[in-house]
Amino acid sequence: MGKTVGVGSPGRTLEIRSPRSPVYFAARYVLAVGAVEFFAWKILDPFYLQFLTTQRGLNLSPSQFALFVSLGSWISMILDYPTGAVADKLGRRLSWALAMFSHAVGMLWLSQARTFAQCLVVPVFQGISWGFQSGSREAWLYDHVGEEGTKRAMSLLYVASVPMTLIGVGIATSLGTWADVRLPIAITGLILLVVAFGVLTFPENYGHRERRWLEVLKSGLTQFRRSRILQFLAVESFFMTLPVWMNSAWWLTYLVKRWEVGVLGATASFGVTACGSAVAGFVLSRTRYTKYRALLVYPTLGAGIAFCLVPVAPAPIIVVVLVLVTIAARYFRNVGVTLLRNREIVEERATALSFLGTLEGAFWTLGPLLWGALIETVGLGMSFVAAGVCSFICAGLFIAATAKERR
């Protein structure tokens, strides 16, 4: 028997009929997403940041790095909403694959870049990738398997993240002993190409293809305007830009500049947090979470405390542990936000998610410039404290968004 998943507003339901079980779609989602998030990025990240922000590569200043990040966000912001409509009209799988192809080209170009001007081509490809991926990947899964299937898929993703992360970190650690920092960047580009071809083999799904383009585009704005929860989540995404930036882009630089940690030490430190976060994801997958508040509020408060403690940490290993706490909290937040916003969206899922992505893109065009100036003014240490304050604000917004659940 084929499984039917109802999607859409109560008066206008779109049905996706498939002879395949939800496990089939979840497994494909996990393989594609895991290969990027928990394998390719784990190989790339230790070298990517060192290449961009230290003397081992381009040695960009905080302002230059902020421009690098913001440019990609500008491109993404411009493309995000229309590409969401493309995903609903022409196919979520197609949009997802195009995103992977674009990012792959960007990584291969970066592996050959020698100057700041040359590396500015990369965020253009990244922005195109983020635009096409925003909404399409999540909508592809949710509209095939529904909320419960999405919960199971994300749990399976975190379980799979453990071996994927261990392998990725093992490769990165090995490369850190002998390879130039450019090689892992090129390897990542090749992995993304393979994933892109793999995604093209997935079953396709759509939104309401019979609607006109303007109707599809208006749907995302209308749903956002009517939902206070989506509005709270949008505001939260702005304040989350600094915490994400600090525990993904600057904490390794902090280790290198404060304690002069070497290439192998930086790579190993990243491996500890990556593997620890994967274990945290595994614990999450085994937890019977039923309340959004438990996924959103408490982990975010814990992350805020950890950020505030980073500047007074007496040794690099303490910083690594604190960063581990903030990254693990981000796992919980991501699950909660994904489920909550998809519950609020009732039709044209990719377009509505892309509208939220457009707002997030706008925040990422302004945020890095603001936070880059903050880092140059107060230093990396106090910027971690500022990230803690932002986390506390995000926790307050989550409390407001889940107020009905408490009642």
Per-residue pLDDT tens digits of the chain, which is 407 residues long: 344 343 443 334 344 445 678 888 999 999 999 999 999 998 998 788 888 888 788 888 888 888 888 888 788 888 888 888 888 888 899 999 999 999 999 999 999 998 999 999 999 999 999 889 988 898 899 888 887 788 788 878 888 888 898 899 889 888 888 888 899 999 999 999 999 999 999 998 876 667 777 777 788 888 898 899 999 999 999 999 999 989 887 888 898 888 877 766 766 776 777 777 777 777 777 766 557 778 899 999 999 999 999 999 999 989 989 998 998 898 889 888 988 888 888 777 888 888 888 888 788 778 888 998 999 999 999 999 999 999 999 999 999 988 865 55
This prediction's pTM: 0.76
Name the residue type at position 252: L
Report pLDDT for 233.
Answer: 93
Report pLDDT for 252.
Answer: 83
Q: What is the CA radius of gyration of the chain?
A: 20
Strands 12-18 and 3-9: antiparallel
Residue 271 lies in a domain: yes
Instruction: Using DSSP, state whether 261 is helix, strand or coil.
Output: coil
Residue 6 lies in a domain: no
* Residue from 232, 200, 219, 206 nearest 101 by CA: 200
Report pLDDT for 263.
Answer: 67
The secondary element (H helix, E strand) that includes residue 15 is strand 12-18
Report pLDDT for 379.
Answer: 93
Q: How far apart, in Å, are the Cα atoms of 377 and each of 62, 63, 173, 380?
A: 11, 11, 34, 9
CATH number of the structural domain spanning residue 138:
1.20.1250.20
**φ, ψ for residue 92, nearest 5 deg:** -70, -40
Residue 328 lies in a domain: yes
DSSP output for 72-133: HHHHHHHHHHHHHHHHHHH-HHHHHHHHHHHHHHHHHHHTT--SHHHHTTHHHHHHHHHHHH
- Whether 16 and 205 have beta carbons less than 8 Å apart is answered as yes
Residue 8 lies in a domain: no
- Whether 395 and 337 have beta carbons less than 8 Å apart is answered as no
245 token code pair: 């930036």
Residue 381 lies in a domain: yes
Question: What's the structural domain count of the chain?
Answer: 1
Its domain, for residue 304, covers 15-406
Residue 3 lies in a domain: no
Residue 348 lies in a domain: yes
Residue 5 lies in a domain: no
Quick: pLDDT tens for 142-173. Answer: 888 887 788 788 878 888 888 898 899 889 88
Name the β-bridge partners of 9. 12
